[in-house]
A and B are shown apart, each in its own frame.
Chain A
C-alpha cells in the first residue's frame, strides 16, 4: 500500500486554480522528487499532505496517508504531523524560533513526538545523526551558519522518527558547498532509516542526485512522473525536455575579436579594503570585520570576468564599491583613467558603469512605470531633449527583446525573467562600458536562465561591453566567463581561465567548490 496517495487534488484561490487534478502515489521507502518552477503548485501539494494549506484555499480531491484519509479535525492532523510526518522548510532562519536555543527546539520536537522518556538518549543521537556537535545545543539560530540551521531543522523533523519527511526547497537558500553537504546528509538519513522522502525543488540536478522517483509539475499539473532514470533518459513531456536542456549550460563563445587587450585596463582595483566596525558605543569590544581585504585586480575592456566564492566572502561588497554605492576603507579604484574611492564617483563616470541586481522583484519601484524607472539613470548624462530621452529608452528596451509599449506598464505585470530583462535594459540605458552583474540569473527559473544568459552574451558582442559577474554558480560562470577569480574571506585566492581553473583547482576552496557541483544528468 502506498504511504501517500493523492487522488484528483485541486487547490484554488478565489476561483483561480493553483493545482488541478493532481494524482500521485508515493510508495513506502521511495524518495520522491517534485520538480517545478515558481508558481507551479509544488509547495502547495506538499503543504496539502501535511494539512498546512492557507485558510483561503479551496481544496477538493482525496489525500490518503498510509491508507486512511487525512483527518478533518485540526487536533488529529496536528498529531499526525507531530508523529508521522517531518517537515524541512526552505528558509531555516524564519522556520526556527529566534528566541529559543536549537537544543530547546529539538527537545520540543521530541516532547511533541511523545517519546520524552528516551530524551537523554534521543538528543545526542539526533545531533550526531545530522552532524551537529554537542556544543551547538546551547546556541540560538542566529549564532549558527545557514547549513547548521538547516541541520537543526532536519534534526527536529527526525525527532519523531517520521515515516515521511517533506523537504521543501531545503537547500535553495544555501551556497553551493553547503547545499551539497545537506543533500548528502538527507540521502544518508533516508537510506539509513528507510524513510520516505518527498523532496521539492526547482533544481533538476538536485532531484536527480537525491530521488529515485520524480514528478514534473507545471502550472498546477503533473506533466510527467516515473523513475528518475527513465524520466531523465527518455522524457515524454516537452516541458521535461525543456527543463533538461536548460539544466545543461553550453559555453557561450564570443568572437575572439570582441576581446581587445589594448594596454590600459578599463577598471583597476588597487589594494582595496573595506572594514566594518561593530560594537557601537564600545568600538574595542568587537574586532573590525574586514569584508574585503587588500584586493587588487585589473579588468580589460571587452573582458568577461567572474568573481566566485561562498556567501559572505565579500564579493558583493566589492561590487558595491566598484559601482559607487559604498566607500573603500583603503586603496582606490580607477575607472577609465579616473581614480575614485566609491561614492565620490562623478556623474559622467557613473554613466559608464552599471549594476544588474540579483533579485528582479525588488529592483523596480512598484509605483513607477517601467519607463520612469528605466529613464532614471539618464539624469547622469545631464539634460537630454525629450526626443533623445525617448529614443534612448526605446533603444534599451528593444535591445533586450521587449517592446516599446511596455514602458507604460508597471513592474507587477511582468514575470521574473522579463523583469530581469528590464533590469538589464536599465543598466544599458546610459550606454555603459562596464556592467557588474550580481548573481544575474540565480533568482530566475531554470527555463529562463538560458535565455537571459544568451541575451547577455549577445549584448556583450553588440555593444562591446565588459562584464564583471558575481556568482556562486560554477556552471554559469564556466559558460560565460573568460577569466575567473575565486574569493574567500575578502581575499582573492585563485584566478585563471575557467577551463583550466576547474580542471586543475589549486586552492582548497576551489577544490571544495568543484567537489560540491552536482553531477550532470546523463543524457
Chain B
C-alpha cells in the first residue's frame, strides 16, 4: 500500500478521507465543542440551523453540532473497542484452529457457531439484565459478536496459507504450532484482517446506534448518535430535523467505512497485486 495505489482506487481515497474526517471530528470533541453538551437552555430549544448553532438545537436547547461531534466519538470508541475485542480473542482462536487442527479446530468452530446463534442485541439484553445498561456493556456485546467473525476470517485465510511449502519448511525447522501461527500465518492474513476490521467497525457503529436507541447502550448525560435518534423520535413529525441529523451522520459514517473496506479489499487483494501480468503471461 502506498499513495500511488491510493490514487488508483479513488473510492478508497474518498472513503478513507470521509471516515478519517468523522473520526477527527469525534476526537476534537474531547477538548473542544462549540457549546458544552451538558448545557441545557430550554429557552433556546428547537432553533433551526443558523450561524450561531450550525445544526440548530434540540428539545433541551443543546447545540446539535456539539452533540453530533461527541456522539460520533462514542460510536467510534464503542465500535473500535468491539473490533479490538473481536480481533484480540477471535484471531488467536482462528489461528489455533488451523495450527493445531483436530479437536481444537472442532471446538473453535462449534464455539463460533454457538456465538453466531445469538445476535448482538440478545447478548446486550443479557448483559444489561445482569449489570444494567451502559457503554461498557455495549462494547462487550459488540465485542462478543465480533469474536466468531474474526475467528472464521482468520481460520479461512490461515487454511490457505497453511498448505504453502514455507509453512512445511518452518515445521521442518522445528518451529512449534504457536511459532508458526505467529511468524507465518498471522503476517500473511493481516490484509484480510484489516479489511474485515473496517467492515466490522461500520457494523459496530450501527450496532451501537441500535443498542443506544433501544436504551441498552450509552446513557444520558453522555450522548451517542443512537441516543440522539431515540430522543428525537417522539418529535419526528414536528421537528424532523432532529432525527435527520444523527440519522444522516450514521449513514455517512457507515457508507464511508464500507467504501474503505471494499476499496482496501481491491487494493490489497493478492490476485490483483501483480497488475494483471501474472495471468496469461508465459
Contact = CB atoms under 8 A, between A and B. Distances in A.
B277 A18 contact: yes
Nearest to A378: B173
A39 B281 contact: yes
Contacts of A357: 165, 168-169
A53 B164 contact: no
Contact of A18 (B165, B168, B281): B281
A16 B276 CA distance: 11
A56 B275 contact: yes
Interface string B247-282: 000000000000000000000000000011101111
B162 to A, nearest CB: 12
Interface residues of B, number: 22
Interface string B170-196: 111111000000011001100000000
A124 to B, nearest CB: 35
Contact of A379 (B174, B187, B188, B281): B174
B166 interface: yes
Contacts, number: 86
Given A13-B275, A56-B276, A43 B281 contact: yes
B281 to A, nearest CB: 6
Contacts of A362: 164-166
A426 B188 CA distance: 21
B1 to A, nearest CB: 13
Contacts of B175: 376, 379
Interface in A224-239: none
Interface stretch (A279-287, A365-373, A501-509): A365-373
A118 B199 CA distance: 54
A509 to B, nearest CB: 28
A365 B280 contact: no
A364 B281 contact: no
Given A18-B277, A40-B282, A350-B174, A367 B188 contact: yes
B174 A380 contact: yes
A64 B168 CA distance: 49
Interface in A35-56: 36-44, 47, 53-54, 56
A512 interface: no
Contacts of B275: 13-14, 56
Contact of B170 (A323, A324, A376): A376
A45 B52 CA distance: 68
A324 B172 contact: yes
Contacts of B277: 13-14, 16, 18
Instruction: Name the residue among A13, A39, A53, A364 with the largest chain B CB count within 10 angstroms.
Output: A13
B166 A379 contact: no
A324 B184 CA distance: 19
Contact of A42 (B169, B173, B282): B282
A376 B281 contact: no
Contacts of A426: 169
Interface of A: 13-14, 16, 18, 36-44, 47, 53-54, 56-57, 323-325, 347, 350, 354-355, 357-359, 362-368, 373, 376-380, 426
14 contacts: A38-B281, A47-B280, A54-B280, A324-B172, A355-B169, A355-B172, A357-B168, A362-B164, A363-B165, A363-B169, A365-B187, A365-B188, A367-B188, A373-B166
